[in-house]
Amino acid sequence: MNFHGHGQFPNTRLRRLRTHPWLREMVQETRLHPSDLILPLFIRTPEGPAEIPSMPGVRRWTIEELPQIIEQILAVHIPAVGLFPLTPQALKTPDGKEAFNPENLICQAIRTIKEMAPQLGIIADVALDPYTTHGHDGVWNGTYVDNDLSLDLLSKQAVIQAEAGADILAPSDMMDGRIAAIRQALDGANFEDRAIMSYAAKYASFFYGPWREAVGVAKLPGQDGRPVGDKKTYQMNPANAEEALREVALDLQEGADMVMIKPGLPYLDIISRVHQTFLVPTFAFQVSGEYSMIKVAAAQGWMNEQAVMEETLISLKRAGATGIFTYAALEVARQLNK
């Protein structure tokens, strides 16, 4: 930016434009709108618990209960929801085959929501971890997640979700080549109209802790077979930024329509660089741990919950996010609509 020609104190006083609420609003550069917000929803069977202790204010919904929450979403003009299942333990297998059951929780939820609210977008997560006994996103061969074997299964999962009515398929598994594989499978099943939102730069983050509790993914086995609790052989190293650009470039070449950066707040620089480099719709995910940190501190009375939530979301937009997945979407949208 060129600062020549800008004034100097005392002729120039930047505080002048901060004097009144209307003036601050008039010169505001970034705005948050309900249409920027995507609400993730957890789906359960009637036997599954509703409460998620690690995520205050978030609960799991049965198929029968879905209309309650969908009505609230429609009332505040949130454009889309993202869906995650709490799969009953008895249905989990090493290959996660419940993911390919057209009657699984997610497919039922998709059909129920589509029937009730065809105007609401549905984003289905493509990854095997909610369905596998080991909790990894792909095929676990005992020591490692097998990339190429996983591609077939993820493609199959995406097609099943598209058949149920999902508008956007969002692969969060971080296998190499999955965007091309899923695009080909979707097109092969005549779903050329369905979009892919790639979790292109997904970091091996410990901010996912509360989410893993919410979908019942307990302890992940590591390379030696012992539980170590990480996905570092496929998700990105938090120390890397250049690599995120390579991930996004590859996914776009393979046919991704939109990309996502995840988590959100710790990765503002990545959002900014991706947005400026590729000029494609770039989404951010304010993940479970980011959400819960704010909720817990606010519950202690240490921070103003609504103000901090909105500050973090506007920061993501300012960095360049087109839209944001946030568990606070409903409460924030209600506030914005006032």
For helices 268-278 and 242-253, the axis angle rounded to 10 degrees is 40
Residues 115-134 that bind ligand PBG (CB under 6 A): 125, 127, 129
Are 201 and 259 within 8 A, CB to CB? yes
Are 35 and 79 within 8 A, CB to CB? yes
> Whose structure tokens read 């240490």?
302
Residues 48-67 that bind ligand PBG (CB under 6 A): none
Query: Given the complex with ligand PBG, which of 136 and 273 has the nearer CB atom?
Result: 136
Per the annotation, the verdict on 97 as an active-site residue is no
Residues 224-263: x where in contact with ligand PBG by CB under 6 A, - otherwise, as a string: -------x--------------------------------
Q: Is 192 exposed, middle or buried (0-12, 13-18, 19+ CB in 10 A)?
A: exposed
Burial 49-73 (b: 16+ CB within 10 A, else e): eeebebbbebebbbbeebeebbeeb
Per the annotation, the verdict on 114 as an active-site residue is no
CB within 8 Å of 141: residues ≥ 6 apart: 149
Residues 152-191: x where in contact with ligand PBG by CB under 6 A, - otherwise, as a string: --------------------x-------------------
CA distance 197 to 248: 11
Binding status of residue 98 toward ligand PBG by CB under 6 A: no
Out of 137, 167, 251, 254, name the contact with ligand PBG by CB under 6 A.
137
Shortest Å distance, C-beta 80 to ligand PBG: 15
- Residue numbers at the binding site for ligand PBG (CB under 6 A): 125, 127, 129, 137, 172, 208, 211-212, 231, 287-288
Show which residues are catalytic. Answer: 202, 262
